[in-house]
Amino acid sequence: GETRNLIHNPDYQKLAKEMENQLYEMLGQAGGMDIPMNQPSGGSQNKRWRERGGDQAADFPKAFTVDEPLNRNAQ
């Protein structure tokens, strides 16, 4: 399994983007893009709300946790 999250490592940025593009291509081919979501055009908002244990759920980089929810209507 994954033991180190490399998403913020500059050496892996190109690979991460290639993998993201491949994911959305595969979803498109399988009809998965019918699910209401869009590929991020910039940096994605992959954040965890600290108050709900977001920083306890897994070893997330500090950049992935926020003190305030980004979407106050989220359930």
24 lies in some domain: yes
Look at the chain and report how many structural domains it folds into: 1
62 lies in which domain range? 10-36+45-66
Dihedral angle over CA of 44, 52, 67, 58, nearest 10: -60
Per-residue pLDDT of the chain (75 residues; tens, 9 = 90+): 567 788 888 999 999 999 999 998 998 898 887 776 666 677 666 677 777 766 665 566 777 788 888 877 765
Note the pLDDT of residue 11.
95
Q: Considering the domain boundaries, does residue 3 fall inside one?
A: no
Q: 3-state class of 20 per DSSP?
A: helix
Three-class DSSP category at 49: strand
In-domain check, residue 71: no
Please give the model's pTM, rounded to 2 decimal places.
Answer: 0.45
Nearest CA-CA partner of 17 in 54, 44, 35: 44
Answer yes or no: is 31 within a domain: yes
5 inside domain: no
